[in-house]
Chains A and B, each alone.
Chain A
Amino acid sequence: MKIKSIKLHNFMRYKDDNELKFSTDPEKNVTIILGDNTFGKTTLAQAFRWGLYETFNDTSYTKKKDIVLLNNEVIASMGQTSMQSVSVEIIVENDQEEIKFVRKANFKRKTGDPDDMTIKQIGPTILTMQLLESGVWGNVISNEGDNVEARKYKAGCVQEAIENMFPQNLSNYFFFDGERWNDLKSKTEDIKDSVDTILGVSGLIEMKKHLKDIPRSNVTTLLRGKLQGTSGEYERLRREISSLEQQIEDNQDELDKKRQSIDTVQRTIDSTEKTLNDNRKIEEDQKEYKRLDADIIQYEKIQAEYYADIVKKLSESARFLAASLLPELSDMLSKVNLEGKDIPGVTVDTIDYLIEHDECLCGTKFTENSEAHDFIISIRDLVPPEMLGGAAGKLQSMLETWEQDSLELKDEIIKKANDYEVSTSIIDEKVRDKNELERTMDRKTNLGPVRLQNKQAKEHLRTIQLAISRLEIQIEQDKNNKEQKEIQLDNVAKYDEDNALVYRALAYVEAMYDKASVIANNRKQTTLTDLNRIIGENFQRMFNDKEKYAEIGDDYKIHVYYHQVGSKTNYEEENLSNGETIAINFVFIVSILELAKEYRELEKENDEYGMENAILGLPLVLDGPFSALSNENTVLIANRLPQFAEQVIIFMLDKDWEASELEKYTLPEYCYRVAKEPNSNSSTIEKN
């Protein structure tokens, strides 16, 4: 598939007609369009998208919804009633066939106000095609239908022809926009489909679906519907098969829905994870802030406990303080006999009474200087109140006990006070850290809900995956069951000769299906292995990096790994720079094209290989592909492109043109330049 030319009429920056012819030379297949930034290179890329799909990409300058198709200078020159058209004409060469696609829209100004430049489209956008037959363009075929060959060219036929040649789901591959590639969040299924389409497996898959895999409306089911039977047993089996088919279809629908919902959930996981990764610092700060807060509260509690301990000790200090009076008390009591005897009921008054009467209660006389007199005098000192020395002695020994008991009290108070002081320092330090963090951190962004959303999405994903597994098992069981019933039904029906024709057709369908399955499975099994081999080679060629390697994963996306990081082997590099990501995507594209070329060669050599011409040969239209790449990578990539793509069309800056060394793949007449007069809004295309 090659694009021969594109002709723009009043399309955006390009006033009147501007035409580009592209090289279709098999060797020098590169066409270059040079131009400074803002001159209109990207507009040319937009012309391809609009011409083929009636759609646009957002650009760094303009959002899709703000794009005005009609050239500004043309709008300015229009009166209120005059009408002007915009059209893009693309001529495509496909094997021996040449087709001209034209998309056209008419516009008028919205108001009569000369300052109001808004326009409105008049009527629908018209899409037509013409086939070149014997050097002459044939009838104009309209996408609206109502054509001369009405049966062949129904409504939508032109868009379908475009889709067959340039599948829109692959457009990101052959209309490669260096600026936007990073923004593409390609779903794994889409990439798989794209790879299948490029490598020609899609046709086989479609065929399998048509023959058998689509529930109910497939060829096998339709043919089986033609089988006839008369017995009750036959009817019962038919009903059961029909019921199983319904069940399979319902479960298949459910399975499709679940698979679709995986994409939604996966997007939520990706976006929340991106948010969490992008805001890791905020989250870490907020965690640290909370941790500091919790630490402060914890240390304040500990500090309060130390304080309470000190208060408790101080509350017990009466005995300690009293004990400190012991020396003074002992000094005072040294003058007192502390031995004292307690004679029950006897006091100093009793003794004095007896001495006064000179006679003891037993009749002994207390004569002066007698032994009895001396004894009673000595007793006098030992009874109350003179015996109080005994009580004082007890008080003294109590203080001694208190002194012993409270020896540690002062030390304990000081120890707790020191602990309190240490905790004060820790709290102060943490409060300082917290205040500093408070000053610098983002406190408003609350990532809690994002983390929760991420967690819930992951749980949801697991639930969906579980449901998918169950449905897959159920569908498989139902299919087996159905097959069993079909065998039973065949046993009942095969004796009916009217059914023989149907069985022959069914056998033919079965054989085709089996063959397609074998080829598709072989292709699929080898695709990842082959693709990874080529990706590995191209990665080494382009990056010349012995430490890393690239590999396509089960998600069909390229991952870059280090052979060894510390003790870890095959460690994935997740933080690729913008330039690296673009270069790796190039590795991907170049590798797919290379594999497609390899398969095409195999297809030519081996009739059994697959469906004829199923593998797409695509042109590559690249808008500013090298702007984020180093010169070294630019040369390496640029030199691979012409070898594997059918045709390469590149819009680029002069500096990249020199660096790319693409001159050797470019014929001089296919080197253009987008020019713009300094005072004009419109651009023109000139030969370089």
Chain B
Amino acid sequence: MAIKKDKTIYEYFKVDEMFFVGNHRDYVDKLWSFNKIQESYFKRLVDLYAVAAIVGLKTNRKSQEVKDDSDIKRTVQMKQLNDNIQTLLPLMRLVLIMDDSRGFTLEQKLESAFMIPEDVDTYKANMELFNSYARGGVEYLYEQLVLRTPDIDDDYTDYRIANMVAMINNTLERQDNLSI
């Protein structure tokens, strides 16, 4: 939280860490394993977070956090968020500009995208919007990379390779109105 003159400013990805819990934690575990690249689809959790958010936005898929009894969570560390802010912040702006779920005009979308929130509610709402896309994206990635059975005409015998190539080929077109 940064203090500017007497005002409190809430800067995205500099205030809170991101947690994956419940079913999203389980999906994350299938997509990423700490320091085990051969058992992962992504090198770092922050990479998965970023890709998932944009995939969620492109596939118009958001998902609420669903907690379970377990205390176990996967945390995108503050340092990783800070180190990747040059990617994450533009993604956040894209989300805020392109999200249609809030019923905003283009001007309102642009304002929410480029104004640094000055109240906690706006900050939290926008972060949640981004994270809900990220969770939606995690679900999509889990389905496309882990659950998907390669087609007969896939060029690759290894299903992980086939799914990664298919994913990068198939998520180029943005889908409309598929969100929850």
A residues near B, CB below 8 A?
304, 307-308, 310-312, 314-322, 324-325, 328-329, 332, 335-336, 384-385, 388-389, 391-392, 395, 398-399, 409-410, 413-414, 417-418, 420-421, 424
Among B40, B50, B57, B174, the residue within 8 A (CB) of A311 is B40
Among A315, A325, A389, the residue within 8 A (CB) of B110 is A389
Knowing A311-B41, A311-B42, A321-B171 are in contact, say whether A395-B93 is a contact too (CB < 8 A).
yes
Give the CA-CA distance A177 to B89 in the complex, in Å.
98
The yes or no answer to B34 lying at the interface (CB within 8 A) is no
Among B38, B48, B54, B156, the residue within 8 A (CB) of A420 is B156
**B38 A304 Cβ-Cβ under 8 A:** yes
Closest chain-B Cβ to A403's Cβ sits at a distance in Å of 12
> How does the 8 Å CB contact mask read for B129-146 relative to A, with 1 for contact and 0 for none?
000000000000000000
Given pairs A321-B55, A325-B58, A388-B110, 5 additional interface contacts (CB within 8 A)? A311-B43, A318-B91, A332-B97, A398-B90, A399-B90
**B98 A329 Cβ-Cβ under 8 A:** yes
**B47 A315 Cβ-Cβ under 8 A:** yes
A-B pairs with lowest CB-CB distance, top 7: A315-B47, A318-B50, A391-B114, A315-B43, A321-B54, A388-B110, A388-B114
Closest chain-A Cβ to B152's Cβ sits at a distance in Å of 15
The yes or no answer to B15 lying at the interface (CB within 8 A) is no
Residue of B nearest to A304 (CB): B38
Closest chain-B Cβ to A457's Cβ sits at a distance in Å of 47
Closest chain-B Cβ to A177's Cβ sits at a distance in Å of 65
Closest chain-B Cβ to A408's Cβ sits at a distance in Å of 12
**B174 A314 Cβ-Cβ under 8 A:** no
Closest chain-A Cβ to B109's Cβ sits at a distance in Å of 8
Knowing A312-B43, A388-B115 are in contact, say whether A321-B51 is a contact too (CB < 8 A).
yes
In the complex, what residues of A have CB within 8 A of residue B156's CB?
417, 420-421
**A307 B161 Cβ-Cβ under 8 A:** yes
In the complex, what residues of B have CB within 8 A of residue A317's CB?
51, 168
> How does the 8 Å CB contact mask read for B90-108 relative to A, with 1 for contact and 0 for none?
1101100110000000110
Task: Kindly identify, within residues 110 to 161 of chain B, every residue whose CB is under 8 Å from any CB belonging to chain A.
Answer: 110-111, 113-115, 155-158, 160-161
A–B complex contacts, Cβ < 8 Å, 24 sampled:
A307-B38, A315-B42, A317-B168, A318-B51, A318-B54, A321-B51, A321-B171, A322-B54, A322-B94, A324-B58, A328-B174, A332-B106, A385-B107, A385-B111, A389-B110, A391-B110, A392-B110, A392-B113, A395-B94, A395-B97, A398-B90, A409-B168, A413-B164, A417-B165
Q: How many residues of B contact A (CB 8 A)?
A: 44
Among B47, B48, B90, the residue within 8 A (CB) of A395 is B90
In the complex, what residues of A have CB within 8 A of residue B160's CB?
307
The yes or no answer to B177 lying at the interface (CB within 8 A) is no
In the complex, what residues of A have CB within 8 A of residue B94's CB?
322, 325, 329, 395, 399
Closest chain-B Cβ to A527's Cβ sits at a distance in Å of 73
In the complex, what residues of B have CB within 8 A of residue A409's CB?
168
Residue of B nearest to A312 (CB): B43
In the complex, what residues of B have CB within 8 A of residue A316's CB?
47
Closest chain-B Cβ to A140's Cβ sits at a distance in Å of 95
The yes or no answer to B35 lying at the interface (CB within 8 A) is no
The yes or no answer to B37 lying at the interface (CB within 8 A) is yes
The yes or no answer to B87 lying at the interface (CB within 8 A) is yes
In the complex, what residues of A have CB within 8 A of residue B73's CB?
none
Interface centre among A316, A320, A321, A335 (most CB of B within 10 A): A321
Closest chain-A Cβ to B32's Cβ sits at a distance in Å of 9
The yes or no answer to B70 lying at the interface (CB within 8 A) is no
Closest chain-A Cβ to B98's Cβ sits at a distance in Å of 7
Residue of A nearest to B110 (CB): A388
Give the CA-CA distance A85 to B10 in the complex, in Å.
123
The yes or no answer to B44 lying at the interface (CB within 8 A) is yes
**A417 B164 Cβ-Cβ under 8 A:** yes
In the complex, what residues of A have CB within 8 A of residue B91's CB?
318, 322
Residue of B nearest to A390 (CB): B114
In the complex, what residues of B have CB within 8 A of residue A385's CB?
107, 110-111, 115
The yes or no answer to B53 lying at the interface (CB within 8 A) is yes
- If over half of B's interface residues share one DSSP class (helix, strand or loop), that class is named, otherwise mixed; here it is helix
In the complex, what residues of A have CB within 8 A of residue B113's CB?
388, 391-392, 395
Give the CA-CA distance A413 to B161 in the complex, in Å.
9
Among A308, A413, A424, the residue within 8 A (CB) of B165 is A413
Closest chain-A Cβ to B171's Cβ sits at a distance in Å of 6
Among A308, A314, A321, the residue within 8 A (CB) of B58 is A321
In the complex, what residues of B have CB within 8 A of residue A424's CB?
157-158
Give the CA-CA distance A419 to B171 in the complex, in Å.
23
Closest chain-A Cβ to B68's Cβ sits at a distance in Å of 27
In the complex, what residues of B have CB within 8 A of residue A398's CB?
90
In the complex, what residues of A have CB within 8 A of residue B58's CB?
321, 324-325
In the complex, what residues of A have CB within 8 A of residue B110's CB?
336, 385, 388-389, 391-392
In the complex, what residues of B have CB within 8 A of residue A312's CB?
37, 43
**B114 A392 Cβ-Cβ under 8 A:** yes
Give the CA-CA distance A111 to B48 in the complex, in Å.
95
**A410 B37 Cβ-Cβ under 8 A:** no
Among A310, A325, A332, the residue within 8 A (CB) of B174 is A325
Residue of A nearest to B108 (CB): A385
In the complex, what residues of A have CB within 8 A of residue B93's CB?
395
In the complex, what residues of B have CB within 8 A of residue A319's CB?
87
Give the CA-CA distance A385 to B116 in the complex, in Å.
11
Among A315, A325, A332, the residue within 8 A (CB) of B44 is A315
**B43 A310 Cβ-Cβ under 8 A:** no
The yes or no answer to B180 lying at the interface (CB within 8 A) is no
Give the CA-CA distance A310 to B162 in the complex, in Å.
11
Give the CA-CA distance A312 to B51 in the complex, in Å.
12
Task: Kindly identify, within residues 39 to 73 of chain B, every residue whose CB is under 8 Å from any CB belonging to chain A.
Answer: 40-44, 47-48, 50-51, 53-55, 57-58
In the complex, what residues of B have CB within 8 A of residue A304's CB?
38
Closest chain-A Cβ to B59's Cβ sits at a distance in Å of 10
The yes or no answer to B172 lying at the interface (CB within 8 A) is yes
Closest chain-A Cβ to B41's Cβ sits at a distance in Å of 6
**A388 B111 Cβ-Cβ under 8 A:** yes
**B115 A328 Cβ-Cβ under 8 A:** no
**A420 B161 Cβ-Cβ under 8 A:** yes
Closest chain-B Cβ to A40's Cβ sits at a distance in Å of 73
Among A308, A413, A414, the residue within 8 A (CB) of B37 is A308
Residue of A nearest to B155 (CB): A421
**A314 B37 Cβ-Cβ under 8 A:** no
In the complex, what residues of A have CB within 8 A of residue B37's CB?
307-308, 311-312
Closest chain-A Cβ to B144's Cβ sits at a distance in Å of 11
Among A311, A329, A420, the residue within 8 A (CB) of B158 is A420
**A421 B106 Cβ-Cβ under 8 A:** no
Give the CA-CA distance A392 to B155 in the complex, in Å.
40
Closest chain-A Cβ to B114's Cβ sits at a distance in Å of 4
Residue of B nearest to A398 (CB): B90
**A410 B168 Cβ-Cβ under 8 A:** yes
**A421 B158 Cβ-Cβ under 8 A:** yes
Give the CA-CA distance A307 to B169 in the complex, in Å.
17
Closest chain-A Cβ to B64's Cβ sits at a distance in Å of 22
